[in-house]
């Protein structure tokens, strides 16, 4: 039997089994290297959403408008989706993310974070 950190919330203690990255996956910031993009239908009738695929067994991220804008701010010179391949981003939990008028917390791309290099073998600066 394993002891449970009693400071965790229920969301953190019993994480979702989603195939996509969730806010519980980035309680500790994650540095991810973009591999590619694809469209995926999340739920019937909602239409396809743009998904970011990462290297190193990091779950894919459903890209929303805010994170799309943050990605464009972080890499303003990139032209076309193929230009993001190999780019590194920092994903973190932001407790202030709102959905349907409620503060629920969520994933954000840190648009101000700049990797020292784009080599995934380099040390990860925080």
- pLDDT single digits (tens) 71-95: 999 999 999 999 999 999 999 999 9
Q: Is residue 126 part of a domain?
A: no
Residue 13 maps to a domain:
no
Whole-structure pTM value: 0.76
Our count of domains for the chain comes to 1
Bridge partners of 33, per DSSP, are 88
- What is the tens place of the pLDDT at every residue in 2-35? 677 788 777 666 655 778 999 989 999 999 999 9
Backbone angles phi, psi at 93, to 5 degrees: -85, 130
Q: Quick one: tokens of 65?
A: 């408008």
Domain membership flag for residue 52: yes
Q: Range of 96's domain?
A: 21-109
> Over the Cα atoms of the chain, what is R_g?
15
For residue 38, what is the enclosing H or E element?
strand 30-41
Quick check: helix, strand or coil at residue 27? coil
125 in a domain, yes or no?
no
In-domain check, residue 45 = yes
Between the alpha carbon of residue 122 and those of residues 88, 93, 109, 111, the distances in Å are 11, 23, 20, 20
- Looking at the DSSP assignment, which residues form a beta bridge with residue 17? none
Rounded Cα–Cα distance for residues 36 and 33 (Å): 9
d(CA 94, CA 55): 23
The answer as to whether 14 is a domain residue is no
Would residue 63 count as lying in a domain?
yes
**Does 51 fall in a domain?**
yes
């Amino acid at each position: 039997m394993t002891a449970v950190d009693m400071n965790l919330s229920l969301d953190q203690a019993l994480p979702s089994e989603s195939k996509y990255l969730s806010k519980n996956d980035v309680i500790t910031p994650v540095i991810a290297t973009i591999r590619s993009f694809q469209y995926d239908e999340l739920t019937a009738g909602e239409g396809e959403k743009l998904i970011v695929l990462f290297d190193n067994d990091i779950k894919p991220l459903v890209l929303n408008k805010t994170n799309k804008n943050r990605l464009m701010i972080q890499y303003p010179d990139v032209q076309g989706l193929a230009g993001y391949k190999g780019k590194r981003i920092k994903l973190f939990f932001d407790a202030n993310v709102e959905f349907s008028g409620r503060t629920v917390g969520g994933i954000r791309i840190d648009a101000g974070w700049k990797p020292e290099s784009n080599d995934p073998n380099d040390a990860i600066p925080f």
